[in-house]
Chain A
Amino acid sequence: MTSSNTRASSAAAPAAGPDTPVRRRRPSRRGSRWGWLLWTLPALAVYGGFVLYPLVETVEYSFYNWDGIGVATPAGLANYQRVFTESALYTSIINSFVLIVFFTVIPVVLGLISAVLMRELKGRGVGTLIRTLLFLPEVVPLAGAAIAWTWMYSPDGVVNQVLQAVGLGSQEHAWLGDFSTALPAVGIIGTWVVTGFCTVLLLVGIAKIDQSLFEAARLDGAGRWQEFRAVTLPGLRRELVVCVTVTIIAALASFDVVYISTQGGPGYSTMVPGLQIYQLTFIKQQVGQASALAVVLVALVLVLIIPIQRLGRER
């Protein structure tokens, strides 16, 4: 690969034009028109073989009924129809939207508040220590976070212990085993994982905002809230878009946490698309149905992410 590339480009090198600034861009057009393709071939091979090909296969499977062993029979759009009409299936999609509240909305709001507060908290050492601590959840495996929190939520866990200590012992229960509390409880695990990341990201963003803007706002007599609205928030646009994008994807693809903490239960109260695709394929052997759900999941991510990315690019 290297040698052929070398030859192609050295042949083209003498063609590089005179050194006028306008013509200067030209030499980068060097080599054969397809020289760059050689450089991308290894990446294309693994990406094509283990991402694009399975993606196409997912779409194909979604139009068939297949148990993973026997002969597949065409199913038309029936698999898709069931995604939106069978409660066991659409529940998982609704749940993932609820999880967005816990994975995205709460962490971004908390992150904003604490980043604004930390901006004025001078003292380097403390700042670094806080940053390190807040970053921990982002580094441990999600499965580990889920084990820690499963123990927190158990009847003898910290959550009940704290409730008892403050005199709310009557509220004690098995948080992950109860239909009404299981989903928010799983959501809070997500909040725990991403809040520190959002905080630190926003903190770095705030540090990049031109200090004179804050000073100008102060001189104009702006209060804290006005300063936040007029200076901080617009200055953090890029970071906010990133936080929202990353955490929405995490919410929609929350397999690890749910697999460890609840397996989707009780009932379907914490079922999410990622886990359901897994269960449909490997336990219920409805590969076609799983694939239709997978396609819907991919579409859902794109529908949510593309407008947010647009918002970040405007300026």
Chain B
Amino acid sequence: MNIAESATTRATRIMILAVLIVFTVVPLLSMITTALQKQGTLPSGLSFPVHPQWHNFVDAWNAADFLALLKSSLLIVLGVVPLAVVFSTLAGYGLATARTRSGSVIYGLFILGLTLPAEALISPLYYELRSMGLLDSRFALIFPLLGLFMPFGVFWMRTAFQSLPPELTEAAELDGASSWQTFRRVQLPLVLPSLSSLTILFFLWTWNQFLLVIVLINNPADGNMAGALATFQGEYGTNVVLLCAGALIIMAPSLVVFFFFQRQFVRALLQGAVK
């Protein structure tokens, strides 16, 4: 009887998981099968393409000006991620060593931003960047993103530095190491895992940023891939086949990077959430 029971529970278990996986995969699958249909036809959601039209991807590639988008997205990532990681690390270290009340006040100021939705800042950001003459340039994305990443980055790196055993720093100090030397030679090597997780998260958030691109960038070629999805939908909304092909191409880099760095991604996202 016991065996029969465990067999049924096992079956239910697999059933529930299967439903969840189908729910997760079907929207993407529907996009792929649609993208391979003949252009100008009206395919239904999930239908196997008898004659897969691979050149749809070429057409969409050209229509979306994919190379320009890729270049722009990379430029934005290069402008944001390294600086954001450096700034977060420096501030995280500084605040981890600060023992004064003013230190906690500044840290509290950063924490305040952790739950702040960017939606609440877009109107003033728009006018601020306009008066700085940065609107429609990539700097209009780079500066606000740097600022928006700081609460999490500082919080993350401060936690990392604080979790190091204090004896290490003290030993270094007794040996006469300066603050910078302690940081560079003792502490920094030990927080490298946290640093790489932070880099992955910042990359993902920059790559997928949508709101700021829609508000602050006029020409999609100056924005990123996520923002380009809106433009592409606007232009090819009626051509479902091309829309799906284009959206897939635009989403492909995120997926490729994810499959390559899967383990790191999952770890970063989970750690990022729990800490």
Contacts and interface: CB of A to CB of B under 8 A. Distances in A.
Contacts of A249: 115, 117
B66 interface: no
B211 A274 contact: yes
Contact of B128 (A43, A47, A54): A54
Contacts, number: 325
Contacts of B127: 57, 68
B255 A28 contact: no
A133 B21 contact: yes
B150 interface: yes
Given A294-B120, A297-B119, A141 B210 contact: yes
B44 interface: yes
Nearest to B123: A281
Contact of A260 (B43, B124, B148, B230): B230
A30 B173 CA distance: 9
B195 to A, nearest CB: 15
A204 B174 CA distance: 40
B51 interface: no
Contacts of B98: 36-37
A46 B251 contact: no
Nearest to A140: B251
Interface string A23-40: 011011111011111111
Contact of B265 (A43, A58, A134, A139): A139
Interface in B82-131: 86-88, 90-91, 93-95, 97-100, 102-103, 106, 109-110, 113, 115-128
Contacts of A204: 270
Given A301-B115, A305-B115, A149 B210 contact: no
Interface string A166-209: 00000000000000000000000000100111011100100000
A48 B98 CA distance: 19
A55 B120 contact: yes
B46 A158 contact: yes
Interface in A21-75: 24-25, 27-31, 33-40, 42-44, 46-55, 57-58, 61, 68
Contacts of B34: 151
- The range of chain B's interface size is 35 or more
Contacts of B170: 16, 24, 27-28
B148 A281 contact: no
B45 A159 contact: yes
A121 B42 contact: no
Given A58-B123, A139-B254, A13 B176 contact: yes
B62 interface: no
A156 B44 contact: yes
Which among A43, A44, A144, A192 has the greatest number of chain B C-beta atoms within 10 A? A43
A160 B98 CA distance: 60
Given A50-B147, A142-B210, A192-B27, A136 B255 contact: yes
B120 A58 contact: yes
A227 to B, nearest CB: 13
Contact of A134 (B24, B103, B243): B24
Contact of A156 (B23, B45, B117, B154): B45
12 contacts: A30-B173, A37-B106, A43-B150, A47-B109, A51-B151, A136-B24, A141-B207, A144-B250, A147-B244, A151-B27, A156-B240, A301-B115
Interface of B: 13-14, 16-17, 20-21, 23-28, 30-31, 34, 42-46, 86-88, 90-91, 93-95, 97-100, 102-103, 106, 109-110, 113, 115-128, 143-144, 146-148, 150-151, 153-154, 166-167, 169-170, 173-174, 176, 178-181, 204, 207-208, 210-211, 214-215, 225-227, 229-230, 233, 240, 243-244, 247, 250-251, 254-255, 258-259, 262, 265-266, 269-270, 273-274
Interface of A: 2, 5-6, 8-10, 13, 16, 19, 24-25, 27-31, 33-40, 42-44, 46-55, 57-58, 61, 68, 110, 113-114, 117-118, 120-121, 130-145, 147-149, 151-152, 154, 156-161, 192, 195-197, 199-201, 204, 238-239, 242-243, 245-246, 249, 252-253, 255-256, 259-260, 273-274, 277-278, 281-282, 287, 290-291, 294-295, 297-298, 301-302, 305
